[in-house]
Structure 1
Amino acid sequence: MGIVKETDTVVLYDSEKDKKYFLNLSLAKGKFNTDKGEINIQDLIGKKYGSVIETHKGFKYVILPCTLYDFIMYKLNRLTQIIYPKDSAYIALRLNVKPGDLVVESGIGSGAMTAVFAHIVGDSGKVVSYERREEFIKNALSNLRKLGLDHRVKVKHRDIAEGFDETEADAVFLDVREPWLYIDKAYKALKTGNMLGILVPTVNQVIEVLKKIEKFPFIDVEVSEILLRKYKTVPERLRPEDRMPAHTAYLIFARKLPGIVEV
């Protein structure tokens, strides 16, 4: 069982109300106020996850670790639309991202997909993120610091129209408005035999990407859309939830073959 560190983001769980409070200890000062009383921040540090802490009124909360899913869905500060876990998990698997890898991406957005890549590559790997907008960089790095993942990410404040510096990336991922304009640059950055991933929200964009990909030696081209339907967790009345998030994005993948291309 892990120990709470002063840099952790923790979950305080109220079992009576089935309610969670999220608290980043590196930013919190003094006391944390809940509807059931105050908790001294210092009293959390050093406790075991799964243990109980009481407010000054005697109410109890269970201390739980904040998962990456929790943080992305409930605590990530968003300046942009994010890539949701239902898509990001498949993206990471489809790109075959693993510990020690070099992943090149553009753009960083609010850092949700960057966090997933950084979580997987580990301390021996690196995520290089290209982003034009400084406000996105500052916000994404702030989110990554709260997760303790910022040291695995190198951000380059640059337009990818200038190209990527990397030439042997284990995976390349594009989440930009007109990705077809940068297929040539992604091809050059990617290691032969490895995967390129692209995310776009509209069919028109998918068509433009496919037209451009045809001009390069790529194989295993795939276009997919992931739909997630959750169920109400009541054994006596098991059924889908009333609302289902529909379309979020189209995902495009392709594997690089060797070749010299003039486009």
Structure 2
Amino acid sequence: MSQTEPTSTLQEDAGTTLPHGAAARRGPFRAGERVQLTDERGRMNTITLTPGTAYHTHKGFLNHDSLIGQAEGSMVENNVGQLYQALRPLLSDFVLSMPRGAAVVYPKDAGQIITMADIYPGARVVEAGVGSGALSISLLRAVGDSGYLHSFERREEFADIARGNVETIFGGPHPAWRISLGSFQDEVVAQEAPGSVDRVVLDMLAPWECLDAVATVLAPGGVWINYVATVTQLSRTAEAIRADGRFTEPDAWESMVRGWHLEGLAVRPDHRMVAHTGFLMVTRRLADGVTGLNLKKKAKAEFTEEDLSAWTPEAVGERAVSDRKLRRAARDAASTVQTRGTKSKITDAETGGGAPGH
């Protein structure tokens, strides 16, 4: 399968060369971009600026044209005097409001993945389980234009949604991104050279099934990080890694985020928090021919046939997503890109933004 070298996509802004997508984050509001409106009661809504249209509420309407050309952080007034604060959505805002077909990786987990897996500019990264593209966006920001992210997704509908969301936030295709359709464990060894990948990020139901594929493409010292939803998945993956011997002892954790209410002297924790979303587990590839340390354990893990046959999406709490909902989310993601003047769709087993291959 042929692969091409990346073309230069750096942008010029006032004589300064910027990384891909950076120019779209600066300057006045432009037609086609998303703007976050906050009203006087603190309620937020995100709109896509479209000339000639208006944002309607039960308290009047706000013309989009009154926002286009305004500086970020402006205060605008609708037809009945309702004030709105206008800002570009942050990445965390975009992820939670973008079109989706699958559950997204929350910002708190994406940040942990970037840091704990040491995703750095120029790194070569592969991921599986693209979903709606939330984690792909964070990974692309981390590897930069000079890096490489190859994403694998089983379902074409999810891939289309992810592509639309990625192109929306970057203002078009990202030069470091490739996306392929198919099973990760089959496709990654066919498309990536042995030992050529720096980091592997898996968000899938049964990551232990990918153990041989990960060990093949991951360079010695490379990091493999898994995002799983349940303790049973976490246990099964950890025991498979230990039994294999080609990786370091896995570490696992979860993070919880609790906001605080700040109003005068009424400073207290919020009543709601983002608690459990998933577990993260990280391990590293050892050098070829080296066997990992045999750390002493108090108990030996055993799995029954009933355990091994229970790994279905329904059994671990995943909700089925209807084809109708997926098609609608894909249209929503693509429509935002169209407004900016770009549109693309996966039409075969593999497409990409021209990132380097092997």
Match of 1:190 among 213, 218, 222: 218
Asked if the contact 1:118/1:149 (under 8 Å) is kept, the reply is: no
CA deviation vs aligned residue, 1:154-205 (integer Å, no higher than 9, x gap):
2101111314122422211011111001011112222221211101111111
1:29 to partner: Cα distance: 5.0
Asked if the contact 2:29/2:71 (under 8 Å) is kept, the reply is: yes
Q: Rg: which structure is higher?
A: 2
Q: Comparing 224-233 with 179-188, which one deviates more in the overlay? A: 224-233
Q: Comparing 147-156 with 62-71, which one deviates more in the overlay? A: 147-156
CA deviation vs aligned residue, 1:20-41 (integer Å, no higher than 9, x gap):
221123xx35212233433333
Give the match for residue 239 of structure 2.
211
Q: Comparing 139-148 with 81-90, which one deviates more in the overlay? A: 139-148
Q: How does 1:64-213 map to 2 (within 5 A)?
A: 64-73=87-96, 75-148=97-170, 151-152=173-174, 153-164=177-188, 165-167=191-193, 168-213=196-241
Give the match for residue 85 of structure 2.
62
Give the match for residue 50 of structure 1.
73
**In the superposition, relative to structure 1, how do residues 41 and 208 fare at CA in structure 2: closer, same or farther (>3 Å)?**
same
Q: How does 1:210-249 map to 2 (within 5 A)?
A: 210-214=238-242, 215-219=244-248, 221-249=250-278
1:81 to partner: Cα distance: 1.7
SS of the aligned residue for 1:127 comes to strand
Match of 1:32 among 54, 58, 61: 54
**In the superposition, relative to structure 1, how do residues 260 and 136 fare at CA in structure 2: closer, same or farther (>3 Å)?**
farther
> Letter of the aligned partner of 2:168 in structure 1?
K
SS of the aligned residue for 2:248 comes to strand
Q: Partners in 2 of 1:242 and 1:67 — Cα distance?
A: 24
Q: Aligned residue pairs: how many?
A: 258
**In the superposition, relative to structure 1, how do residues 176 and 63 fare at CA in structure 2: closer, same or farther (>3 Å)?**
same
Q: Partners in 1 of 2:181 and 2:171 — Cα distance?
A: 19
Q: Is the strand fraction higher in 1 or 2?
A: 1
Q: Partners in 2 of 1:205 and 1:190 — Cα distance?
A: 22
Q: For structure 2, list consecutive stretches of 5 or more residues without a partner in the other structure.
A: 1-25, 291-358
**In the superposition, relative to structure 1, how do residues 150 and 115 fare at CA in structure 2: closer, same or farther (>3 Å)?**
farther
Q: Partners in 1 of 2:85 and 2:262 — Cα distance?
A: 22
Give the match for residue 37 of structure 2.
12
1:53 to partner: Cα distance: 2.9
SS of the aligned residue for 2:161 comes to helix
Give the match for residue 256 of structure 1.
285
1:220 to partner: Cα distance: 5.4
Q: Partners in 1 of 2:106 and 2:180 — Cα distance?
A: 24
Q: Partners in 2 of 1:190 and 1:21 — Cα distance?
A: 42
Asked if the contact 1:7/1:148 (under 8 Å) is kept, the reply is: no
The structure whose RCO (Cα within 8 Å, separation 6+) is larger is 2
- Normalised to the residue count of structure 2, the TM-score between the two structures is 0.66
Q: Partners in 2 of 1:9 and 1:206 — Cα distance?
A: 37
**In the superposition, relative to structure 1, how do residues 5 and 125 fare at CA in structure 2: closer, same or farther (>3 Å)?**
farther
**In the superposition, relative to structure 1, how do residues 197 and 150 fare at CA in structure 2: closer, same or farther (>3 Å)?**
farther
Q: Once superposed, what is the RMSD of the aligned Cα atoms? A: 2.2
1:260 to partner: Cα distance: 4.8
Q: Percent identity?
A: 32
> Letter of the aligned partner of 1:190 in structure 2?
L
CA deviation vs aligned residue, 1:191-223 (integer Å, no higher than 9, x gap):
221211101111111121112212132225211
**In the superposition, relative to structure 1, how do residues 59 and 243 fare at CA in structure 2: closer, same or farther (>3 Å)?**
closer
Q: Partners in 2 of 1:176 and 1:140 — Cα distance?
A: 16
Q: Comparing 98-107 with 34-43, which one deviates more in the overlay? A: 34-43
